Amino acid sequence: MKTYIITGGAGFIGANFVKYMLATYHDVQLIVLDALTYAGNLGTIAKDVDGKRCIFVKGDICDSSLVTGLFEKYPVEVVVNFAAESHVDRSIENPRLFLETNILGTQNLMEVARKFWAVGKDDKGYPSWKKGVRFHQVSTDEVYGSLGATGYFTETTPLDPHSPYSASKTSADLIIKAYMETYKFPATITRCSNNYGPYHFPEKLIPLIIKNILEGKKLPVYGDGKNVRDWLYVEDHCKAIDQVVRFGRAGEIYNVGGHNEKQNIEIVKLTIDTIRHLMETEPAYRKVLKTDLSNVSYDLITYVTDRLGHDQRYAIDPTKMKNELNWAPETSFETGIIRTIRWYLENQAWVDEVTSGDYQKYYEKMYSNR
Ligand code: NAD
Ligand code: TYD
């Protein structure tokens, strides 16, 4: 039995990872540590938390005594750090919170792991590490900044973050690098492109667009809609992380992406077309439509004021993942987007649950001045 701490396991990717790990392995124990911010929802993993193979702990990754208590109580061998403030628009409104969670929280987790995992010193004074331990940081391609029309981010692309969110994730990567160099701390980092799939909080592009279409609301497209993101189905990301944790070399960074670039406006139009098609061919879905089917059209598209400092294009070169770890995305965008849209049509109760708090106030504030 291998014991993992999965931070942020009640959020989008973390929850998908928890489900993936429990479905794939019988010999893992997962301690999910999550502060349940607006983006975390215990209901998402309620069926997975059984108190034995999967234990839930509500708490902040910045809380040193809490994290220490978890290491004292459980034989933790792996930490996978998903916990973060993750939304670029929110980081523009309130950068400070991003620095606290994303940088200080990450350092706190590493510092506790360092104390529990170091088991002596080598002849040069570097710590020796308990066998089989690993700290894994879930980072983002946004640390590389923005691309023009051509080219891809590789692991050696210079770091050039533009938003408070990406700057905070970059800072976390740098403090991890410092631990790797100074203590030979056994860590790995994955930098992934935009994910999509089930349990994605509906403030991010794809789930927001689905939600608004179903409600007959405007679809806010920032700027000219031609910014490009490289989309990856969330389960493919989970498999990549698992592969890196088990077989990746400590001290290494791996880029994870799907060679699946799309302009935002393409995504918005495809989502409208797909929802309309599903409603026409499978009328049972119409019960979740809060507007007339004739309103599900491109007329909903509304170009709004651009995001400040909006990165133009992200695109990942995943060659290292392919060559070293034999990882490649398995889900095509065509399959993944239909699966995702169907999931949202069938799980409106989840959407209502996660948006029942302060979300509406946030949404109105965010889009009222655009
Ligand atoms: P999310 O916002 O859906 O979930 C974040 C989770 O972290 C939530 O459950 C939240 O409650 C929890 N959390 C926040 N602050 C915390 C704290 N201080 N202590 C403990 N828990 C806390 O995010 P996501 O989209 O699932 O992203 C997960 C990770 O993957 C993040 O580190 C993000 O930077 C990275 N990432 C995301 C994407 C993407 O497309 N979503 C792409 C690349 C990398
Ligand atoms: P988002 O899902 O916030 O992810 P990220 O900023 O981390 O890439 O945004 C994806 C793209 O969609 C990004 O170029 C901004 C754009 N966007 C819109 O055009 N309208 C929206 O309402 C949102 C949330 C994003």
| Per-residue tens of pLDDT for the chain, all 370 residues | 999 999 999 999 999 999 999 999 999 999 999 999 999 999 999 999 999 999 999 999 999 999 999 999 999 999 999 999 999 999 999 999 999 999 999 999 999 999 999 999 999 999 999 999 999 999 999 999 999 999 999 999 999 999 999 999 999 999 999 999 999 999 999 999 999 999 999 999 999 999 999 999 999 999 999 999 999 999 999 999 999 999 999 999 999 998 999 999 999 999 999 999 999 999 999 999 999 999 999 999 999 999 999 999 999 999 999 999 999 999 999 999 999 999 999 999 999 999 998 787 778 888 887 7
Q: Is 85 in the active site?
A: no
Q: Is 165 in the active site?
A: yes
- Say how far apart CA 188 and CA 135 lie, in whole Å: 6
Q: Which residues line ligand 2 (CB under 6 A)?
A: 88, 194, 204-205, 208, 220-222, 227, 229, 264, 307
Residue nearest to atom 25 of ligand 2 (CA): 205
Beta bridge partners of 2: 28
State both tokens at 126.
């570097």
DSSP state of 295: G
DSSP state of 32: E
H or E stretch covering 3: strand 2-7
Residue nearest to atom 21 of ligand 2 (CA): 205
Residue nearest to atom 6 of ligand 2 (CA): 88
Mutual angle of helices 234-247 and 12-24, in 10-degree steps: 60
Q: What DSSP string describes 33-90?
A: EE---TT--HHHHTTT--SSSEEEEE--TT-HHHHHHHHHHS-EEEEEE--S---HHH
Ligand 1 contact via 15 beta carbon (within 6 Å): no
User: Which atom from ligand 1 is nearest to the alpha carbon of 38?
Assistant: 11
Q: Is 261 in the active site?
A: no
State the CB neighbour count (10 A cutoff) for residue 124.
Answer: 6
Q: Which amino acid is at 231?
A: W
Query: Which positions ≥6 away from 4 have C-beta within 8 Å?
Result: 21, 28, 29, 30, 31, 76, 77, 78, 79, 80
Closest to 337 measured CA to CA, from 231, 238, 214: 231
Give pLDDT, residue 365: 81
